[in-house]
């Protein structure tokens, strides 16, 4: 390519190449004539010696270093990009360890997947921070939001269990479901914490009072969880039609919500009582030694 011009909004490349008559073999190159100092045309074969050898057609570079790129198509019905990447790393790890000048860099679907997962984990962190600060404003407390968010880790337990018994792979779409689920599971804990706050008598909390509050919220939490799961399960199990793209996300939301709701009924009241007793002891300690 000798030059490039822009015409009608498009780049047009100009290349210089031999005519078809001179592409029949390497020997034809010797017949090409070149002018001498005296102006006579001399066959190129009288001036140079030719030799046919194997050579690299093009030397590519990546980040300033020489590189060799290997392309391949992935049969997703047989393998995933992650499994193929791990197999290649295992095959070449021993060879690469002995030569620090060689690097193995993956692109394509694996690179896109890693970048997408990194973005999702950032979104996960921002979602947790957003939920926490909203709860801080709601409760006017820095501790009670942790009680509400204590059910979030158990959503992952439910998702792992569900994906294990269904022999499914936790992937990109399921992670999206986990992020969306965090905003759902806090609702049950939020309802219970607010009800316990309103049920205090003279700012005193008893074990019987907590049990009574949890019992009164039991029906509401169970009904909201069951109705939500009932609306999700037809899509998750393909009743009336199967959508392979949505199934992992719906499965993560449905089973994660069920596990988190069950844990909320037992964990949140216990943590609430532990927090109350801990703060009471801290207040007594301050009054005793710093009054």
pLDDT tens digits, one per residue of 85-141: 888 888 888 777 777 788 888 887 777 777 887 888 888 899 899 999 999 998 888
Q: Is 95 exposed, middle or buried (0-12, 13-18, 19+ CB in 10 A)?
A: exposed
Does residue 224 form part of some domain? yes
pLDDT in tens, 235-291: 888 886 677 788 889 999 999 999 888 888 888 888 888 888 887 788 777 777 765
> Would you place residue 204 in the very low, low, confident or very high pLDDT band (cuts 50, 70, 90)?
low
**Residue 30: which of 18, 47, 16 has the closest Cα?**
47
Q: What is the mean pLDDT of residues 146-154?
A: 87
Of residues 60 and 223, which shows the higher confidence score? Answer: 223
Q: Is 6 exposed, middle or buried (0-12, 13-18, 19+ CB in 10 A)?
A: exposed
Instruction: For residue 259, give the 3-state DSSP assignment.
Output: helix
- The pLDDT tens digits of the residues spanning 8-31 come to 778 888 887 777 766 666 677 788
Q: Is residue 27 part of a domain?
A: no
Q: Would residue 154 count as lying in a domain?
A: yes
Select the highest-mean-pLDDT range: 113-117, 161-165, 191-195, 214-218.
Answer: 161-165
Question: Do the domain assignments include residue 55?
Answer: no
Dist. CA 242–CA 77, nearest whole Å: 17
**What does the CA dihedral 237, 240, 246, 250 come to, rounded to 10 degrees?**
-50
What pLDDT score was predicted for residue 133?
93
With beta carbons less than 8 A apart as the criterion, state whether 145 and 139 touch.
Answer: yes
Tell me how far apart the alpha carbons of residues 259 and 251 are, in angstroms, rounded to a whole number.
12
Flag whether 124 is in a domain. yes
For 230, residues 6+ apart whose C-beta sits below 8 A from its C-beta are none
Domain extent for 172 = 108-290
What's the confidence (pLDDT) of residue 201? 59
Question: Residue 241 and residue 81: Cα distance in Å, rounded?
Answer: 27
Q: How far is CA 90 from CA 47, 97, 111, 113, 170, in A?
A: 53, 11, 18, 20, 22
- Tell me if 168 is assigned to some domain: yes
For residue 67, the SS3 value is strand
Query: What pLDDT shows up at residue 221?
Result: 86
pLDDT for the residue 132: 92
- Establish if 226 belongs to a structural domain: yes
> Are 258 and 151 spatial neighbours (Cβ–Cβ below 8 Å)?
no
Which tens digits make up the pLDDT trace of 106-117?
887 777 777 887
Averaged pLDDT for residues 66-84:
80
Does residue 165 lie in a domain region? yes
Residue with tokens 């909203």: 134
Tell me what pLDDT residue 238 has.
82
Q: Which two tokens stand for residue 106?
A: 């993956």
pLDDT of residue 165: 92
Cβ atoms of residues 120 and 172 within 8 Å: yes
Residue pointed to by tokens 């045309």: 41
| pLDDT at residue 255, as a whole number | 92
Q: What percent of the chain has pLDDT over 90?
A: 7
pLDDT at 203: 62
pLDDT of residue 227: 92
- The 10 Å Cβ neighbour count of residue 33 is 12
What's 161's domain CATH number?
A: 1.20.1640.10
Total structural domains in the chain?
Answer: 1
Q: Which 8-state DSSP code applies to residue 150? A: T
* pLDDT exceeds 90 at position 79: no
Whole-structure pTM over 0.85, yes or no?
A: no
Q: What is the CA radius of gyration of the chain?
A: 34
Round the average pLDDT of the chain to a whole number and report it: 82
Residue that wins the pLDDT comparison between 55 and 155: 155
At residue 81, what are phi and psi to the nearest 5 degrees?
A: -60, -30
């Amino acid at each position: 390519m000798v030059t490039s011009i822009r015409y009608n909004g498009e780049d047009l490349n100009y290349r210089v190449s031999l005519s078809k008559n001179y592409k029949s073999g390497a020997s034809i190159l010797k017949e090409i004539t070149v002018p001498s100092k005296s102006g006579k045309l001399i066959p190129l074969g009288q001036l140079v010696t030719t030799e046919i050898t194997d050579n690299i057609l093009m030397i590519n570079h990546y980040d300033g270093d020489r590189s060799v790129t290997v392309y391949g198509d992935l049969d997703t019905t047989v393998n995933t990009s992650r499994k193929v990447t791990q197999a290649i790393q295992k095959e070449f790890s021993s060879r690469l360890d002995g030569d620090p000048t060689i690097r193995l860099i993956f692109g394509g679907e694996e690179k896109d997947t890693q970048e997408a997962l990194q973005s999702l984990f950032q979104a996960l962190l921002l979602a947790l921070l957003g939920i926490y600060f909203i709860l801080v404003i709601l409760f006017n407390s820095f501790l009670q939001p942790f009680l509400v968010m204590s059910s979030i880790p158990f959503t992952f337990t439910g998702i792992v269990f569900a994906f294990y018994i269904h022999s499914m792979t936790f992937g990109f779409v399921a992670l999206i479901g986990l992020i969306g689920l965090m905003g759902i599971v806090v609702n049950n804990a939020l309802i219970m914490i607010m009800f316990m706050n309103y049920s205090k008598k003279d700012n005193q909390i008893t074990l019987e009072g907590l049990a009574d509050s949890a019992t009164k919220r039991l029906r509401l939490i169970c009904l909201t969880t069951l109705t939500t799961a009932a609306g999700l399960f037809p899509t998750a199990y393909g009743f009336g039609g199967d959508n392979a793209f949505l199934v992992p996300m719906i499965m993560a939301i449905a089973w994660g919500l069920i596990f988190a709701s069950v844990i909320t009924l037992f964990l949140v009241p216990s943590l609430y009582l532990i927090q109350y007793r801990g703060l009471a002891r801290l207040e007594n300690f301050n009054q005793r030694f710093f009054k």
